[in-house]
């Protein structure tokens, strides 16, 4: 039996009138996992993203930029999807330089929200929490801003990616 769109639950079919939310953040893909990195300007979002991309590529893991600085975020079928606006697709803002081209994917499903915060606001041990982004709950961890060396193993551990399992 064929089903018309009117018979499909609203959770599956996105509202065509719903506009994606424009958010300040950077998103990447690591294997089949999406990571959203947010924080205030200068917190190190791009630096962490580039560090994660480089780390994964050096170990033979697929990794790609989705978008840097601005993303279009929307809930789709209960998952957060981030897309890069066409005007900045494939560009990463390297501190001290103009945006530079990188291989990218136009969008991806987000599995983890990394929020970069001042070190004093970060709990040493964090409970599992989720926070809505564009109306969709996403697991979140808080990491110290401007500290990619410390954030790298935390993200890999949270995603259970080698060497963590």
φ and ψ of 88, to 5 deg: -125, 15
3-state secondary structure of 155: helix
Give me the pLDDT at residue 37, please: 98
Low-confidence ranges of the chain (pLDDT < 70): 1-18
Q: Is the pTM of this model over 0.85?
A: yes
Dihedral sign from CA coordinates of 155, 136, 118, 104: positive
Q: State the pLDDT at residue 49.
A: 98
* CATH number, domain containing residue 121: 3.40.50.300
Determine, yes or no, domain membership for 60. yes
DSSP structural state of residue 120: G
Position 94 scores a pLDDT of: 86
Tens digits of residue pLDDT in 64-110: 999 999 999 999 999 999 999 999 999 999 878 889 999 999 999 99
Domain count, the chain: 1
Residue 3 lies in a domain: no
Residue range(s) defining the domain that contains residue 140: 21-159
Domain-located, residue 11:
no
pLDDT at 16: 52
The total of other beta-carbon atoms located within 10 Å of residue 16's CB is: 5
């Amino acid at each position: 039996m064929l089903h018309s769109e009117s018979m499909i639950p609203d959770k599956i079919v996105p509202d065509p009138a719903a506009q994606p939310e424009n958010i300040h953040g950077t998103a990447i893909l690591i294997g089949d996992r999406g990571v959203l990195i947010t924080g205030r300007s200068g917190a190190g979002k791009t630096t962490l993203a580039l560090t994660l991309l480089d780390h994964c590529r050096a170990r033979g893991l697929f990794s790609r930029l989705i978008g840097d600085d601005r993303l279009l975020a929307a809930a789709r079928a209960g998952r957060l999807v981030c897309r890069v606006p066409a005007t900045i697709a494939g560009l990463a803002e390297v501190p001290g330089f103009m945006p530079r081209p990188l291989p990218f994917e136009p969008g991806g499903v987000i599995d983890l929200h990394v929020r970069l915060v001042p070190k004093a606001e970060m709990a040493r041990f964090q409970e599992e929490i989720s926070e809505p982004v564009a109306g969709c709950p996403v697991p979140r961890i808080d990491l110290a801003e401007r500290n990619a060396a410390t954030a790298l193993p935390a993200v890999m551990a949270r995603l259970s990616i080698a060497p963590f399992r």
